[in-house]
Structures are given as structure tokens and as C-alpha cells.
Structure 1
Amino acid sequence: MRLSVAAAAATMSAAILLYALFDAASWFWGSAGAVLAVLAASLLSGRLSLPAWAAPPVALVALWVYLTASYASQEAWAYVVPTKGSVVELARLVAAAWTDIQRFAAPVPANEGISLLTAGGVGLIAVLVDLFAVRLRRAALAGLPMLALATVPATILAEPISWPAFIIAALGFTGLLVADGRERLGHWGRAVLVRRTRMAATPDRPGGSRPAMDTRGLRLSGKRIGFAAIALAVLLPAALPAMEPVSFFTFGVGGRGSGTGNSISIPNPIANLKGQLELPERRTVLTYTNSDDQPRYLRIYALDTFDGEQFGMTEPKGSPDNRTDNGPLPQPPGLGGEVKVGNVVTNIQISEEIAKLSFLPLPYPPRQVRVDGDWRADVDTLMVFSTRDEAAGLEYEVATSEPAATGELLESLPQSRSGADPRFLRLPDDLPPEIEELASRITADADTTYDAAVKLQEFFTKTGNFTYSLKTQGHGNNALKDFLLRSRAGYCEQFAASMAVLARIAGIPSRVVIGYTGGTKIADRWMVGTNDSHSWPELYFEGVGWLPFEPTPAGSLGQGSARVPAYTVPPLDPVEGDSSTPTPGATSNSADEPVDPQARVNPRELDREASLATGGLPPDDSMPAAGKVGIGAGVLLLLLLVPAGLRLATRGRRVRALGRESGQTSARAGGGTSRPPVGAAWAELDDVLVDYGMARHTSETPRALARRLAQQYELGPEAATALAKIASAVERSLFARDPGEIGPMRKDLRTVRQALAATVSRGRRVRAVLLPASTLRRIRLVGERLLDGFDRLENLRLRRTAAPKGS
């Protein structure tokens, strides 16, 4: 029975490691019930003396009954007995739970399905632990299934497992080992230590005593090993470099409007966009600076699905491998290594007034982001999001590697689009044929994919006579058809969505992006406000990847800060005396004013060319890696010098005590003077002998010790005399009724120590200073006393007080 209870307790203590994966405690009580069901089955199997192979099926049946009663009782017979309906209900809950853990990032909501999945998993672990520890009597192997419980949070969570939870789990496993040892010793053990125990007198034992087996030493040794292992496991990792978790499990985030657990609640990006554009006054959303002082579009959402009414977003997924603090982000889709890139570092400051923004506004394509918090990148779109943090008030840096796209380069690209996901070409079946005919007519004369994309953009900005208006309403095929064929008036979302649809008809992968335009330069920073909210299409070109296009009319009649990309405009003849070249991927200054080259230099970006050349962020200025290593080495050195410091403090205290003994005399009982501190000299001599490996024999008197040391190590006359004086003073102080006058011993002690040090090797002397054996012995004795105290607590017994006579 004891071993079954210990196995159940060990399983539940290991299950505590899962607490960080959930945002509520319902999983814990469900798991505790599953473990108790397995424990009841184990006790029943033991009571019936079932063979080892029969116990696990009994435990599985008990677990099944418990899960049925807890999660599918309405479908069960008598609320307990499983039926076909209850099995179907349990399967439905498990399927829903599996879907939820793929959608949510930890901590996940502990809903009914996830609680069922967790309770069932912990119950199966309990069955395995009971099999190994109780049935097969292999308690050490029971640690393997318990280790599986620790593996799940260690591989999913970026944060390390908390040390209190680890200690609880380790103590549970240690308790299982101790229980197993006591079971074995009780049945098959032999006496290791024998003592006499007092018992009630009987005719055959007149004295009331008998030999009894004392297993305290054996149990205490096991506890010492267990406590030492736990202490090393907790303390040793603190001195080692941090390691990133290995992702065996990947978790995504919830999609639009999920609003539960730790998922992202994404408002309708299109409705939010128009709401910002219609605000009566401009409000600052963010400010930024960058290494080339050029304005850039900052994207937030990438909408990739079109259902015939509007564009939507596939739920982003971010595994722990794609956390921003793990280094560079995933490679931009479609960008080849032969294309030149321009490396830029941008510093962005989000306004404190932004609410519920879980995506970072970033220029595209980001290669590395330095930001506080748990932020992750979606591999397909490179959107950076968080399930725990919000962007309000954040300041972060992003390094981008923008392809140096030109018209000539895009003309020469292969017409293949194999690198793009087919969903970027998907269109509804009921798309009006008039829209398909319009796309064919616009791109009829295009020789390449790039020519078709430019003609589509010019259709909206030049040849199609479109106008910008926020008064248009509606979505769907009819609204799209009316916008393209009749009204030709709308705002940026309709321009972006319409061009993306026409591009897909023309065979060009496309998506719609929502974010902000480059804003306006004020002082040394670019200011982006609510009126800069914008939507634009991105088109895919094999070898270059995703490139932004701008179909929304700019200027006084349109989006004021929108600009067409330079690679879509025919090159102009260079102006005489002007040698400047626009940066690929950057938009022009909205003020169209020359910028002083000296004023364009951001002081934070000086001397960063080496980092920019690789497309990464400059190293963090907070503390270099060498400094961190140096601090760690210093702390480790201080820890190693603790025994030496304790030894010096002890020696100093004793030497000061010896300095006060000059002129002191002995005193009989009732005398007025104190006994001289001879014990300090003797204790220091004893520690010196231990440090130099010359420990005295237990049976040696002080005089015999002095004689042996003088002969064995051939001490000189002065050292031998000093050693004899110390030994004589100690004997008189300990045994004589009147020790007489005892002179100062500081000089004698120093003489003896120097003479003994001369007889040992240099390595022994260095070790005696840095790692004194006498101090290490004291530290070990303190630890043993602490463990002895734990053992005494276990043996406490309440004593019953005898009733007074006559009561």
C-alpha cells in the first residue's frame, strides 16, 4: 500500500510542472482525480494479489470509468458505465482539445476538452509509474514516464521551469525511491547497523532488551543522496549559460475574434482602417528613425484569403523557434540570394495611446527584430505578433534587407511562381465574368508578369479615371463590380483589394496589406498618424519575393502620403548636378525638400556599417558578451573562494584571542581571572594539520602528538620547542588543577605552522589556502546535521501522558 501511495504522489508532484501551460486550475483537479482512480485500481490489484500483467488493464478500466463520469456522464449508463455515446463524446472533446492547443499559445484555456486531454495524459503516466514502481519493482525506471511530464513544458515554453515546481517534482520522485527502499529492506534486507532497544520485560527477556535492526543510517544515506541531487539540479544550471528550448511542439494563435485563452483577438482590419481614416483630427500612432532617413510603409496585417466579399487573414502561427529573441527571422519567401539587398535599421516608438495592438508595425521584409516581450514571426507572411504582450508604448529596432528591385531586374525574372502558396491565387467560383474580362483587357499587351503588374497599377492611378473617396460603402462581388466598372470612386482598401483580385486573375500571386504609409518628417523623426492608415497590395515575383504596389491615387485628391514604388516608374533622365539615387524600396519625402546630409545622420546608427552589411541588428549596447562572461567568471571565482575566506576569518579570530592572553594566569574556582584561551591555539593547530594532510590520531595526547610530528617531519629545534610548549600548555589547561602561568603562544603557533608548511609540497600549500580541508569538513558537518534534523523530524512521536493516580 505504501508503495502505491508513493507512486501516485510522485506522479501528481511531477504533474505540477504543467501548471505554466494553463490559465486556470481546472486541469489540476481533473488530473488529481485521474491519479486517484489509478491509485484505487492499484490498491485493489494488490489486495486481490493480481499478477503484474493484470494490474495495468485494471488501472486503465478505472481511468476510463473516471473520465466517463467526469466528462461524459450524460451519455453514460447510470452516469458512470461507458457506452457508445460516451465514447463518441469523449472522442469529440479530445478532437476539440487538439484543435485548441494548435490554435492557442501557452497558457491555453483549461476548457473541458483540454482538461480531459490533460487528465487522460496524466492518468496514463500514473498507470506507467505504478507498473514500473509497484508491479515490476523498478522504481528508478518510473522516472522515465515522469520525465515526459517535465519534457512538455520544457519544449513548449521559452521560460525555464520554476525551481519550486521542480523541487516538488524531485521530492516526489525521491519519496518514491525511499518508499521502494524501505519496502525492499522490510522484506529482504539484512541488518546493517545493530543497536539495543528497550522493550517490555518478558519471562524470556528479563532485562527487557533485544537486538533490533536499525535502518536509520541506510535511510539517511538515501535522503542525503536525494537532497544532494536536488540541490545540484537547482544550483548548477544557474552557473551555466542559458539554452534555448527545442521545439518539438508548435503552437499557433487564435484568429479573428477568438477572444478566449491567450489567443490574439484580431479586430476587423478593414473596419479599423476606415475608422482611423475618418477620425476628425490627426493622432500620432508612432514615430521612427532609420539609418538612411527615408520614409517607409509599415505593414501590420497581411490578408491572403478572398471569399468574394473581402480579404481575410489566415491565422498566423508562431513556434518558439521563431521568437524574435532567438536571432534572425525566417527567410523572406521568394527572395533569392543573387538579388542585391539594401540593409536598413529602423527604430520605432509606438504611442502609449494605442490599444489592443498585438502585431508590430514593421517595414518589409524584416530580418531581425529586437523587442522586449514574447514576440514571434509568422513564417509565411513575416508578421510579428504576440499572444501575451501589446505594442502600446513599445520601442524596438528592426533590421530589414530590402531587395534592390528595378524595372530591368523585374523584366528579366523567370515567369515561374512555384515559390508562392496556391492560396495567393485562389478566387471564388462566382466571380463576375465582367471583372475577368476587365483584367484580361488591361493586361492584354503585357509581355511579362512585371508588365502586367505595372499596367494594373496604372489603370488605377492614371488610365482608369479613379478618384479617392471615403464615402463609398459595401463589399462583395456587386460592390467590387460597381467600383471597377461604374463608380470608380473609393478609398485605399477598395483600390488594394481590387488590384489584388485583378492580379490573381492575371496569374500573379497577390495579397492585401494593412498598415501605415511613411508619414511626415518632423524634426529628426518621422511622425505617423491615424490619417496615414493605409492598405496596399503586395505581388509575388519569383527570385525577389513580395513587392508592394500602390494603386491608390496620391496627392491632394487621394491618400496624401501614398507614393508609387520607384521600380514601377520609368527611369527619368538624370538632372544635371544631381547625383543622388533613391533608395530601392523607400518612398520619397512627402515634403519633396532636399535634406541636409549631416542632418540625416542618426547618432544611434553611427559606426554600424559592419552590422548593416549582414542585414542584422547591431549588438546590444547594454553590456557586451565579454562583460557578461567576465561577471559570471567573477561570481564563480567568489563562490570558489568562500572556503578560503571562512578559513582566514577563523584564523584571524583565533589569533586575536591569542593576543589577549599575555600575562594571564590560572584561576581556581571562585578566582577573579579567566582561563587563558589555550583552546584557540589548539584548534588552530588542529586545522593546520588537517589542511596539510597531517591529521592527528584520535587516541593521541597533545604531548604524544608533538613528539610524533617532531620526529616524523624532522622539525628543527625551534619549531620542536614551540610545538612542545603548545602541547604542554594544552595539557596543563585541560588536566591540571592549577595550570600555572601560560605565556603568549602566537609566535609559537606561527613558528610551528611555517615549519609544517615547509615539509609539504607547493601544491598542498596552495590547496590549503584556496580550498582548506578543515573548512570543507565543517561545511560538510553542517550539511549532515541539517539532514540529520530532517531524519529526526520523521521519527517524532506524540507521547501519551499517563493519567494521575486516583483519577
Structure 2
Amino acid sequence: MRLALASGAATLAVSFTLYPLFATGAWFWYALGAILTVTALGAGASRFSIPDWAVLPAGLVGLTMYTTAAFSRDQAWLWVFPTFDSVAEVAALWALGFDDIQRYAAPVPASQGIIALTTAGVGLIALLVDLFAARMRLAALAGLPLLALFTVPAAVITEPLAWPSFIIAALGYLVLLLADGRERVNRWGRAVLARRQAGGSDSPATQPHVGALKLSGKRIGFAAIALAVLVPTALPTLSPNPLFGFGVGGGLGRGSNTITIPNPIAGLRGQLELPAKATVLSYTSSDAAPRYLRLWSLDTFNGDEFQMTAPTGRPEDRVGAGGRLPPAPGLSPSVAMRTNELGVEVSPDINRLEFLPLPYNTTSVDIEGDWRADRSTLVVFSTTELAAGQSYRVTTVEPEPTARTLDGAAAPPDDIKTRYLQLPDDLPEEIRELAVRETAGARTPFRKAVELQNWFTRRGGFTYSLATGGHGSSALIDFLMHTRTGYCEQFAVSMAVLSRVLGIPARVAIGYTGGTRVGDRWEVSTRDTHAWPELYFEGVGWLAFEPTPAGSAGQGSARVPAYTRIAEPSDDTERPGDTAAERNSEPDEADPSAAPATRGQGPLDREGTSSSTAVEEEFPVIAWVGVGVGAVALLLLVPAFARVVMRFRRLRAMSVPVAAREDVAVPYGRAVEVRSAGREGAVTRVWAELDDMLYDYGMSREPSESPRALARRLSEGNAFGPEAAEAVKRITAAIERLMFARDPGGTAVGAADLKLVRAALAASVGRRRRWRAALLPPSTLRRLGSVGTRLLDVFDRLESLEIRRATARR
């Protein structure tokens, strides 16, 4: 039974490492139920001597019944017995969990699919640990399934695992090994029962005398944990392989002709949920205005998510050293243009980023290395270079269309429609009806696009939140029809799908918003990670739209494009503000100092002025070092603080007599009933304090040493003066009277005697021992160790039940 319980405890300890993978802790209670189910079955099998070969099938049956009760009880018989419908529902949840895991980056939302998958996985790990440790008696081999569980968060999350979770997991494994060690010692022969005195009365204990083995095992185990935690701090670190340099992502082999496209959607929310804001890049622009910076362009929609077609980079499309990009698709020379130059500096801390953050439409990039542009999307990438630490110059030519130009846009060419109007055949009809209904009053594709944007940002009652889940068409319907709560990915994908329903070519761009202005530069951080839709209009090309709510109710760095702010959706005449000159005089993205506009009606005011603004400062490294040193110092002082508190409580209790009948427990045997326990209680506290002081200064009392023998030993040395020797004699005489005299009256003892003895003890030892007694008192450490020992003794008490039962049978 001990090994079954230890197996469950080890699995539970290692499962704590899964916490960083989830946005909430709902998964833990389901996983805990699975562990308790497996542990209860394993302990019961050990208790009633069930054959080992039958335990694993029984555990699988029990785990199946628990999973049924937790996730499909309505379809089950009596809530726990599986039926065909309940099994199908659980299987569907697992499939949904697999899809959601591929879709989201850690921390993932607590969807039922992910929770069901996690519960089954943790339950199977618990079964394997019980099989190896309790059935096959191979506790060390049980570390393999525990290691498999431990490596899941280590392989998925980009940040290192927190050291407390590692220590908890390691201690859980050590408990399992210790329990196995006790089982093996018991097999050497019959356990010799020792009698232990606790609280003054004899009580049998069924613990073999394996103290030396326990001590060696504890030392080895704790030393291994300490080395595992401390040694890596002195070793060089390895660089992660994240998306945007800070999250999940793919990479490519350096020097190859291929590039592996990461899943941008999977890491998007992870970037927005990072606990600390990390700088990705900074840039300057010739007009001092912010720019959205694209990394990827997602063009294919499979019904579940938008994905990116692998870009192609021909030799003639190589950029760098002033090389020009291919012309932007669909852009007519008759449209007014505005030229701008940017100077971009990418943080050197970004890793494995093979795409350059660039505004659309970029015409040239001045950068070192072999970088190439994809002709259809104008994303710039490299199979041999990385963006980390790069500095480059960018020239952009941005169209400034009027409402009349956009209203009069011709039909897109066939190649654009074929690629960017594709929708799955099983797209729900509710989505198609919604797109038509919300744009019923618009005549042109451009006006319909504006109506969609206004519906998301103004009329539709949408709110911004990272706490979302689900995938596919059902999740799309749920977002558009019911919850209307999501983050930028949901808004961008939804508007792109609705636009395609209306016959407007659409794709999803992923990159960064313009960032925060600091001095004459714009700083872009992981919090500015963003997704937005791009819609195609012949003669103007691809234009960005912004359906994500902004301001305090949404993503604060999002900006509504100026060309979408039209006053009269039904008016097709040229109006003031439709011309480029008049639009440039309005508050828009080019003027960061403009007054804040209503959400969905204008650009966001970043800080209220165009001057340098206060931004979140990084915590200095030296400050973190100081905090760490202070935390370690406080942790090391915990035993000393506990010792001071214990001494204070004893001394304080000595001065407060207790006028009530009580049993006073004293060493060496029996409890003496007294009428007034004030003075007698003070004697026992003085004796306990003396015992701790002797232990702290390395002169601890032997178990067989009587109080009088102790006084003689301390007084005979040269270290104790006459006053200290007399104080010791008074204390020992008082405890002897309390132990053996019918009337425990006699010489009173108190704090003054303890003070004399403490001074004599401190004078009799070296400085190192005095410092240890003050800062790391052994008496306190002994108590802390006894707590762990008592926890382990729970297993012994459980075993004693079996021994007593076997004895009763004989």
C-alpha cells in the first residue's frame, strides 16, 4: 500500500509542472481526480492482495469510468458506466483537444477538449507509475513516465520551468524511491519493532531500525536536488527557438534552400499574454508617424484557421543594398502616393526570426545579407540570415485613395479571386446570412468593408479579451453570434471570412502595430503583436482594415485607418476630407498628437502629445540580483527567526501562571497532575529551552543521561563558572522534583538561570559554533526534519494495520 500511495504522490507532484501550459487552473482538479482514482485502486489492490496482473486492467476500467463521469455523464448509464454515446462524446472532446493544442500556444485556454486530453494523459501516467513501482517493484524505472510528463512543459514553453515546481517534482520522486527503499529493507527479514515514548506514554511503533539508511538516502536525495537547481546557474544558457523571438515558432536549417513556416496564429495570443513586455524592435519614420509592420501574410482558409502559403524568393527578387521589391499587386499609378522612409533596428534578443518586419507597401530595403521578397505578398524572408540584431533602411510608397476611387474600384482579376475568395463548402449558412445582413445598406464592396469594420468596432457590441477558446466554424459562429468576445486573431479572421463571403478578396496579416513613441523613435514590444485583415481593391491594391476594438476596452495599440472614416456611406460624391490634402489635415495616424477619437471613428491617442512620453522601464539587472540575494538571505534566516520566536514564547509563558488543573508533560516518563500548573509549567519550559540550547552549542544531552548526571558533566568542565554551574543545578533539581516528588515545590527557576547558562555555553565554544547557533540553530532544523519524518511515518502506520491484522489472524 505504501508504494501505491507514494506513486500517486509522485505523479501529483510532477503534474504541478503543467501549470504554465494553461491559462487557468481548471485542468488541475480534473487531473487530481484521475490521480486519486488510480491511487485508490492501486492502494486497494495492495491492501486486499489483488494479483498484480489484474491491477492494470482494473485501473484502466476505473480511469474510464472516472473520465465518463467527468466529461460525458449525461450520456452514460448511472453517470459512470460508459455507453456508445458517452464514448463518442469523449472521443470528440479528445479530437477537439488535439486541434486546440495545435492552434494555441501556451498558456492555452481551458477548453473542455484540452482538459479531457490532459486528464487522460495524467491518468495514464499515474497508471504506469503504479505499474512500475507497486506491481513490478521497479521504482527507479517509474521515473520514465514521470520524466515524460515533466518534459511536456519543458519542451513547449519558452521560459524556464520555475524552480519551486522542479523541486516539488523531484521531492515527489524521492518520496517514491524512499518508500521503495523501506519496502526492500523490510524484505531482509522480520521487522524489529521498537517502542517509542511520545507525550509521556508508551506507544508501539512498527518502524524497522533503518535510521542510518534513511539518513544516507535523505542526504543523497537533497544533495541531488540542490545540485540540479544550483549547478545550472553557473553553466551557459541555450537559446530558445520562439515565434517573434519570444514565443513558439519554427525555424529553418541555416544554409539550406528551404524555409519552415511557423504557425503565426498559434503564438499570437502567447505573445499578448507574456507577463513582461519585451522590446522587439524600434524604428524612426520620416513623417514621425507609426506604421503597422507585417511579418506574415495568411492567404488560405481551411474552415478552421488561416494559413500561409510558403513564399518563393527568386534570385531576381533579392533585396538588400538598395534592392527594390517587386511592384505591389493591383496598384495603379493614377492613385496619389506618399513616400516615407523608416530606419529599423531589431532587438538582438530575438531568435530564429527569418522574416523582416516591414510596412506595406515597401518598395526597397537596404540590408546586408541574402533577403528575398515574395512577389504576391511582398513579405521579405531569408533562408540563410536571421533578423536578430539587424539594422536596415526601408522606403515605402503608400496609396492615399479617395472614397470615390475606392467606390469605383473595378472587379479584381481572376488570379486574385481564385486565391483570396476561397471558402470551404461547409461554411455555415448563418455566417453567410450575417455578412449580407450587416452590409445590406452598402452599395459597393468598399462601403461593405467599412460597414463590417464599423460593426466590429462600434455597432456589434464586441469586446476584447484574451480569455477565449475553441476553433473552426463552430467557434466562429459562437464568436460572431453569441459571445462576441475575443482578441485580434478572432476579429481579423472573422472580418476576412465575412469579406470573402461578400466577394471581397481578403487575407490576414500578422505582425506588429506601430508601438509606443519614445523620443524620436517608436518602440515595438511583444504587447504590440497583432493580426489584422487586408482587403483587395483593384487600382489601390491591398488595404489594411482594423476590426479589433481599441482603447481601454481593447488592444490599445490598434488604429483605424484614415481612409475608412467616411461620413456618409451612401454618398458617392467627392467630399471635403476625401482628398489627400484635406485628409492629411485631419487627425490621423500621421499626427500622434491629435485628440483622441471615439473607438472605431479615429486613431488612438498613444500618450496625448507628440513629445517624449513616460514608458514602462525595465527593472535593472542589479536590482533583480539584489532582490534575489535578499530573498535568499531571508530564507536562510527562517530557522533563526523560528528559534527566536520559540525562545520568546517560552520566556513569556514563564511569567504568566496558569491557574487551572492540567497535566504537565515532562521528560522521562510520566505526566504529573498538579493543582496550579504555573510554576511547574515554567520548570518544563526552562528544561525544554535548556535542552535546545545544549543541542545548538554541540553539548546535547544523551538519551540515557539523567538531569543530575547532566548537571555534573556541565559543572565539572572549566567552561562553566560558579554562577552558571549553580544555575544548571537549580534547573536540574527543579525538574527532578517535578518528575519524582509528591510535592513538586522547591527552588524556582526562570529566565535569569537560562541567561547564565547561555552565556557560559557561548563562551565555551568557538566563533563558528556561536554563529551557527544564532543563524542556523540545529534545534530548529531538527524540528523541521522531524516534520518530514512524521509525514513519512504515515506509511508506517498504514503498514502497522496490515501487521496487526495478520497477527490477529494467527
With structure 2 as the length reference, what TM-score do the two structures score? 0.45
With structure 1 as the length reference, what TM-score do the two structures score? 0.45
Find the structure with the greater CA-based Rg: 1
